[in-house]
Amino acid sequence: MKRIIIRRPGRHARLELIEEPDPRPGPGELVVACRACGLNYADSIIRLGLYASAKRLHGYPITPGFEVAGTVAAVGRDVDGWRVGDDVIGLSLFNGYASHLRLPAEGVFAKPHAVDFEQAATLPTVFLTAWWMVHRQVHPAAGETWLVHSAAGGVGSALLQLARLAGVRAIGVVGASHKVVHAFSMGADAVIDKSKASLWPEASRLAPDGFDAVFDANGVATLGQSYAHLAPTGRLVVYGFASMLPRNGRLNWLKLARDWLRTPRFNPMDMTQSNRSVLAANLSFLQSHAPAMREGMQWLLERFEDGRLLPLPVESWPLEKAGDAQRRIESGQTTGKLALIP
């Protein structure tokens, strides 16, 4: 098998391709021959050494990657319902940048016929994150108005689709004009293009009474104003800090420290008086909620199978070009998702 390993954090050259024997399944496990591996922005943060769960739950050396799609290559003892050759999606806490992956059977799901392997490998992380925030934290009501930052990215695209299914009016925010059409195709009712319009005046025009929910992965660049633009009883959901991180692969520790100090600290007294809430989510720290994650995954896969949810556009790279693929996602110019092909 082939896999990518990061022996210690650093720039893109730290993503090293190695070869080793194929894994064998233990009791209750499967081995998946990966046809595609999902790539997420979080993987770049792992490479930089800043992803908390990578340090606390795994350590270095580490193979990044949370999601794959492929065929069952081997079935361990005490595993029912799977046969060699079955088309599957696999969820993993790291180790996903690989040609073969050993997984517990409860982390494997049947691939919907309606999606191909590259689409399948890139849907679990972003759609499960969106599902958790929408249905376990926000609890949507038809007629609400939401603001979705980074609306052309993976989680943003998923949030727009879940908003559409819930009867919510969703306003997407994108950073470049070539992303506008994609945001509309995912279900946005309106799109704010920050390259052409001032974000917050336009947001106030589109939602003069404020937003019932704002989904923000930017960090210090927008968190304060996202909270300020909530309606009474509105909810700010935080799931990333992209504006604090570099786009050239090299950390600027002074900027990182400055941005950390500038990150808003929300006042509980103000929150109680305004009835506004701040929520947060990180899928890699939700392992204790594995049954809920399986429920969410099944809910999502049913809707991919019958067409209520649409797969995202996928840009594919060879596994050995993982560094170039991470540069691409860090550029902020992509729409949808990226996949690595072993």
Instruction: Tell me how far apart the alpha carbons of residues 261 and 257 are, in angstroms, rounded to a whole number.
Output: 6
Q: Which residue is associated with the tokens 């809430």? A: 277
Q: Over 80: is that where the pLDDT of 125 sits? A: yes
Query: How confident is the model over 237-256, as pLDDT tens digits?
Result: 999 888 877 777 778 888 88
Q: Which of 248, 220, 246, 223 is nearest to 236 (CA)?
A: 223
Query: How confident is the model over 167-201, as pLDDT tens digits?
Result: 999 999 999 999 999 999 999 999 999 999 999 99
Calculate the alpha carbon distances from 247 to 88, 303, 319 in Å: 33, 35, 21
Q: Give me the mean pLDDT over the 93-100 stretch.
A: 97
Q: Over 90: is that where the pLDDT of 224 sits? A: yes
pLDDT at position 241 is 87
pLDDT at position 123 is 96
Q: Over 90: is that where the pLDDT of 73 sits? A: yes
pLDDT at position 120 is 98
Residue 115 pLDDT grade (very low, low, confident, very high; cuts 50, 70, 90)? very high
pLDDT at position 121 is 98
pLDDT at position 101 is 98
Sign of the C-alpha dihedral, residues 249, 254, 260, 263?
A: negative
Sign of the C-alpha dihedral, residues 43, 123, 140, 143?
A: positive
pLDDT at position 332 is 87
- The amino acid present at 302, given as its one-letter code, is E
pLDDT at position 176 is 95
Residues 6+ apart with CB under 8 A from 139: none
Query: Terminal CA-to-CA distance of the chain, rounded, Å?
Result: 9
Residue 315 pLDDT grade (very low, low, confident, very high; cuts 50, 70, 90)? very high
Q: Could you tell me the pTM of the whole model?
A: 0.95
> What integer best gives the mean pLDDT of the chain?
95
pLDDT at position 32 is 98
Q: Over 90: is that where the pLDDT of 213 sits? A: yes
Instruction: Tell me how far apart the alpha carbons of residues 299 and 158 are, in angstroms, rounded to a whole number.
Output: 14
Q: Over 90: is that where the pLDDT of 102 sits? A: yes
Q: Over 90: is that where the pLDDT of 284 sits? A: no
- Using a pLDDT cut of 90, give the percent of the chain over it: 88
pLDDT at position 5 is 98
In the three-class reduction of DSSP (H, G, I as helix; E, B as strand; rest coil), residue 147 is classed as strand
Instruction: Tell me how far apart the alpha carbons of residues 18 and 179 are, in angstroms, rounded to a whole number.
Output: 36
Q: Which helix (H) or strand (E) holds 183?
A: helix 180-186
pLDDT at position 335 is 93
Q: Give me the mean pLDDT over the 76-86 stretch.
A: 96
Instruction: Tell me how far apart the alpha carbons of residues 223 and 219 are, in angstroms, rounded to a whole number.
Output: 6
Query: How confident is the model over 18-53, as pLDDT tens digits?
Result: 999 999 999 999 999 999 999 999 999 999 999 999
The secondary structure of 198-230 as a DSSP string is: -HHHHHHHH-TT-EEEEEE-S-TTTHHHHHHTE
Q: Give me the mean pLDDT over the 110-133 stretch.
A: 97
Q: Checking DSSP bridges between strand 87-91 and strand 108-110, what pairing results, if any?
A: antiparallel
Residue 132 pLDDT grade (very low, low, confident, very high; cuts 50, 70, 90)? very high
pLDDT at position 287 is 80
Q: Checking DSSP bridges between strand 314-318 and strand 108-110, what pairing results, if any?
A: unpaired
Complete domains list, the chain, with CATH: 2-123+311-341 (3.90.180.10), 125-284 (3.40.50.720)
Instruction: Tell me how far apart the alpha carbons of residues 135 and 155 are, in angstroms, rounded to a whole number.
Output: 14
Q: Over 90: is that where the pLDDT of 122 sits? A: yes
Calculate the alpha carbon distances from 114 to 120, 193, 301, 303, 307 in Å: 9, 31, 10, 10, 8
pLDDT at position 250 is 77
Q: Give me the mean pLDDT over the 76-82 stretch.
A: 95
pLDDT at position 150 is 96
pLDDT at position 249 is 73
Q: Over 80: is that where the pLDDT of 293 sits? A: yes
